[in-house]
Amino acid sequence: MNTRSEAPALFRADILRGAVVASLAKLDPRTQLRNPVMFAVYLGSILTTLLWVRSPSGGSGESSGFVLGVAAWLWATVLFANFAEAIAEGHGKAQAASLRKSRTEVTARRLTDPKTRETADVPAADLRVGDLVLVRAGDVIPADGEVVEGVASVDESAVTGESAPVVRESGGDRSSVTGGTRIISDWLVVRVATLPGESFLDRMIAMVEGARRQKTPNEIALAILLAALTLVFLLVVVTLLPFSAYSVEVSGAGRPVTLTVLVALLVCLAPTTIGALLSAIGIAGMNRLGRSNVVAMSGRAVEAAGDVDVLLLDKTGTITLGNRQATRFVPADGVSGEDLASAAHLASLADETPEGRSIAVLAKREFGLRGRDLEQIGPHFVPFSAKTRMSGVDLDGRQIRKGAADAVEAHARTLGGTFPDTVREAVRAIAQAGGTPLVVSRDARVLGVIELKDVVKGGIKERFAELRRMGIKTVMITGDNPLTAAAIAAEAGVDDYLAEATPEAKLALIREYQQGGRLVAMTGDGTNDAPALAQADVAVAMNTGTQAAKEAGNMVDLDSNPTKLIEVVHVGKQLLMTRGALTTFSIANDVAKYFAILPAAFASTYPALKTLDVMGLSTPANAILAAVIFNALVIVALVPLALRGVRYRPVGAAQLLRTNLLVYGVGGLLVPFVGIKAIDLLLSLFTG
């Protein structure tokens, strides 16, 4: 499943239809009870409906239409809240449905005798942890596991969406296979690592379905705060009834406030807007992560990503391209650059490594040297060996070699040559700068040096600068020596580095940061990364990595792109920003609604409150109904923002707070005045 290309539109027709049905199903009291704020609205809807049924003629002094209007719009408020959550869940269920299509009933060849390769066909559901299964070309891998024997091409498009096959082999960091993927060529022996129903695919389906999402600690804390505020408002509203009755009895004028008005007052003053959208914001955050092809195994991890302030990034493949590239030729005294490049090019004709190909590219770019006719020149290639630490070519009676400095020096001296001091100085300078020097010789003469560098990815320095503006410290993890690590760290623009990193050193570094109160995120793909991944607050494991790494992480990147960690942080921060912005808007909203509903609610009991009616609303009944209608409609209006998320910009916390207060705080104060007045004008047209 390609979650990015198949990401459903925000309001796709089938998702809308499902959300409408789910909104009605969520009227179950057991479902409503999970959200205390909306449960209060739910009870208010029932109460006002009963008041209308009991006295449709308005025996309480209120018109029947008013009571019915309040009841209807309270039900609409509940349904709109249900709709917001249901449409967010619908996006997750659409992803889950695509994943389920990739699951098929598979028969596995379980090895009964690993030595003779005898197998017995069994249903995949009968496999147990530790079983060995043989998978051949065309077979579907029956369960998650580790390759213990063989090398094969595997089609993982059912999970990652990428059509290009990947190689899986025993040992190393590419030994993990996922159930439901298909072998294209060759064969594998796989040791089963998970029980039926607990596979990676099963966990993906469970997590992307919003209905099964567990609330995060911050979300639970905010829900408790909103419930407490609602309880406070409930106590205030309940005490208003006897107060108004006493005032009427003492003054002998007016009439006490009615139950319908008190229910409307409670609903409008309680934080219903954020209460209705809170769950949808969390589900939508996980869906956005899914569209980046990252599966979060824990909602807590998505939230923690927004608070991360230290990123641990592997050097190779993350900060650098991962393959050393030839960047320049440094000729010896008396040797032209073209002569050195020509010899290096000849010595690299049979070198199919990325380094060898990059030498040919550099020679072509700088001196126009192109491919040679091998049949015409008749070379004898000397392959690289760990013993000689050189490779090259014998051509026309000449020996051209390239390799480690000490190896080429020894080779030149055996032929009666010397090693120039300028070349020795160039070798030292390149090594100090974090590069790898390759010395080139022709017979006894040393021609110069090729500088190989692990090239830093384009644009990565700007991304680190962006993270720095967000207050996030970047730390490069590498097995290189401190000299090389320092040079690459300076070029990439990271804040710190850990050189000659071992699993123990990574783990100790994470614990050191955490003891200082920092939240740490890291990526990894190998078994040696598993301890550090398990310790990190946000741990993104590569899908191509080992089973141990995927089990230790709380997120899995299906694209196996280590820089995806930066996107994860963006999604986490966007989730927190969206929640904070809509909470600010909701609370500011309530303040504005006081001026609409309080004067109207107590107009007959306390006429002096009429001075608070700054909007000049037509009648008390219309004012109350307008506030209730606005309270319902603003939920629908904010659903797209809750699903898309607030636009994220890498700015400091102080500036972010100012922006939120200005846009969502001031906006939350002003919008209700405009909205309620407009609704009141419409109501006055119908009520005369």
563 domain residue, yes or no: no
Domain-terminating residue out of 424, 455, 486: 455
| Cα gap 258→66, rounded to integer Å | 12
**The Cα angle at residue 157 between residues 154 and 160, in degrees rounded to 5:** 110
Q: Determine the pLDDT at residue 193.
A: 84
Domain-terminating residue out of 510, 538, 558: 558
Same domain for 214 and 86, yes or no, is yes
Same domain for 520 and 617, yes or no, is no
Same domain for 263 and 277, yes or no, is yes
pTM score of the predicted model: 0.65
Question: Is 476 annotated as a binding-site member?
Answer: no
Angle between helices 200-208 and 272-291 (to 10 degrees): 150
Question: Is 387 annotated as a binding-site member?
Answer: yes
Question: Is 351 annotated as a binding-site member?
Answer: yes
Per-residue pLDDT, averaged over 359-387, amounts to 78
Q: Determine the pLDDT at residue 102.
A: 52
- The string of pLDDT tens digits covering residues 463-519 is 888 888 878 899 988 877 787 788 888 888 899 998 888 888 888 999 999 998 888
Phi and psi torsions of 445, nearest 5°: -100, 130
Question: Is 230 annotated as a binding-site member?
Answer: no
204 domain residue, yes or no: no
The identity of residue 464, as a single letter, is F
Q: What is the CATH number of the domain that holds 517?
A: 3.40.50.1000
The residue that leads in pLDDT, 250 or 310, is: 310
Same domain for 446 and 337, yes or no, is yes
Instruction: Please give the distance of CA 471 from its chain centroid, rounded to a whole number.
Output: 19
Same domain for 158 and 227, yes or no, is no
Catalytic residue among 314, 454, 557, 559: 314
Same domain for 308 and 281, yes or no, is no
| Cα gap 538→298, rounded to integer Å | 10
Same domain for 282 and 298, yes or no, is no
394 is known as an active-site residue = no
Looking at every residue in the chain, the average pLDDT score rounds to: 81
Question: Is 406 annotated as a binding-site member?
Answer: no
> Comparing 323-327, 338-342, 384-388, 410-414, which segment has the lowest mean pLDDT?
384-388
| Cα gap 666→663, rounded to integer Å | 6
| Among 157, 125, 154, 123, residue whose Cα is nearest residue 139 | 154
Same domain for 350 and 283, yes or no, is no
123 domain residue, yes or no: yes
CB 518 within 8 A of CB 308: no
| Cα gap 48→52, rounded to integer Å | 6
Question: Is 590 annotated as a binding-site member?
Answer: no
Domain-terminating residue out of 155, 170, 198: 198
Same domain for 534 and 574, yes or no, is no
**Is residue 9's pLDDT more than 60?**
no
Q: What percentage of the chain carries pLDDT values higher than 70?
A: 86
Pairing of strands 107-113, 145-149: unpaired
| Cα gap 439→405, rounded to integer Å | 5
Q: What is the CATH number of the domain that holds 114?
A: 2.70.150.10
Per-residue pLDDT, averaged over 346-351, amounts to 84
Question: Is 182 annotated as a binding-site member?
Answer: no
Give the count of domains, the chain.
4
Containing structural domain, residue 486 = 294-319+457-558
| CB-based burial label for 7 (10 Å; 0-12, 13-18, 19+) | middle
Question: Which DSSP symbol is given to 170?
Answer: S
Q: Give 2's pLDDT tier (boundaries 50, 70, 90).
A: very low
101 domain residue, yes or no: no
395 domain residue, yes or no: yes
Question: Is 389 annotated as a binding-site member?
Answer: yes
1 domain residue, yes or no: no
Same domain for 113 and 176, yes or no, is yes
The identity of residue 636, as a single letter, is V
Question: Is 71 annotated as a binding-site member?
Answer: no
Between the ranges 168-172, 244-248, 628-632, 661-665, where is the mean pLDDT highest? 628-632
Same domain for 338 and 425, yes or no, is yes
| Cα gap 432→449, rounded to integer Å | 14
- The string of pLDDT tens digits covering residues 642-685 is 888 888 776 666 777 788 788 888 888 889 989 999 998 998 88
Same domain for 468 and 346, yes or no, is no
CA dihedral for 71, 77, 80, 85, sign (positive or negative): negative
Q: Determine the pLDDT at residue 8.
A: 46
- The string of pLDDT tens digits covering residues 542-590 is 776 767 777 788 888 877 776 777 888 888 888 888 888 898 898 888 8
What torsion, rounded to 10 degrees, do the Cα atoms 417, 418, 422, 428 define?
Answer: 110
Q: What is the CATH number of the domain that holds 442?
A: 3.40.1110.10
| Cα gap 203→674, rounded to integer Å | 47
Question: Is 659 annotated as a binding-site member?
Answer: no
Q: Determine the pLDDT at residue 160.
A: 58
565 domain residue, yes or no: no
| Among 497, 646, 537, residue whose Cα is nearest residue 585 | 646
356 domain residue, yes or no: yes
